[in-house]
């Protein structure tokens, strides 16, 4: 079971940030720092290695009571019994993902417009990831989303909304009043020298930003 509080600090993995460490080690550090949700995002792994790492990360997240979802690969999410999947506008349709995973799994959907957000909710999305709200180097094709659009999306849907894209401890307060329930981050957590401390400090800043 999960609720919108699990979306407060949503960590997205990035193998480029490992610096010789294992993915399990850095994710554990982030969980120790208070990460509340983990998305396994990999674009370059062979399928067998992807499945192996996904199983290990799922078990790790279970230990911490934190939801674990897989980016894009619905079939693998079903195979490893992840808590769900996150898909983009160009990935598998929400309805198809729901059909494969069943009614109890989480399906997150990326959205950049009010129309996309409403459509995703109508098709059965569990939550939305909206961005990029700030300039980002993590996704080359990221679309800029203004504060006004972010707020409009939050007002247009009833499912939880998180912001993503270039979010840091220093700029997250600029999202206050938008209606989001949390943020997703990659570099602000995993590219930092002390991942646990970075997660802890970012979480505190996000809490302050999303308080009503």
Give catalytic residues, as residue numbers.
41, 110, 139
Contact, 199 vs 26, CB < 8 A? no
Torsion of CA 86, 135, 162, 16, to 10 degrees: 40
Q: What is the SS3 string spanning 35-70?
A: CCEEEECCCCCCHHHHHHHHHHHHHHHHHHCCCEEE
């Amino acid at each position: 079971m999960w609720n919108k509080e699990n979306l407060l600090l949503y960590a997205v993995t990035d193998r480029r940030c490992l610096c010789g460490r294992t993915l399990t080690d850095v994710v554990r550090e982030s969980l120790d720092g208070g990460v509340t949700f983990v998305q396994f995002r990999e674009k370059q792994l062979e399928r067998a290695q992807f499945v192996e790492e996904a199983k290990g990360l799922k078990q790790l997240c279970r230990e911490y009571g934190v939801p674990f979802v897989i980016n894009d690969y619905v079939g693998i999410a079903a195979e490893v019994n992840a808590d769900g999947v996150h898909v983009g506008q160009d990935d598998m349709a929400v309805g198809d993902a729901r059909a494969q995973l069943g009614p109890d799994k989480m399906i997150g959907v990326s959205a950049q417009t009010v129309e996309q957000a409403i459509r995703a909710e109508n098709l059965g999305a569990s939550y939305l990831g909206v961005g990029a709200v700030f300039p980002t180097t993590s996704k080359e094709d990221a679309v800029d989303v203004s504060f006004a659009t972010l707020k409009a999306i939050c007002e247009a849907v009833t499912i939880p909304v998180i912001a993503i894209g270039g979010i840091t401890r220093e700029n997250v307060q600029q999202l206050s009043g938008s209606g989001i329930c949390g943020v997703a981050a990659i570099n602000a957590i995993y590219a930092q020298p002390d991942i646990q401390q970075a997660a802890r400090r970012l979480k505190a800043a996000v809490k302050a930003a999303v308080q009503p």
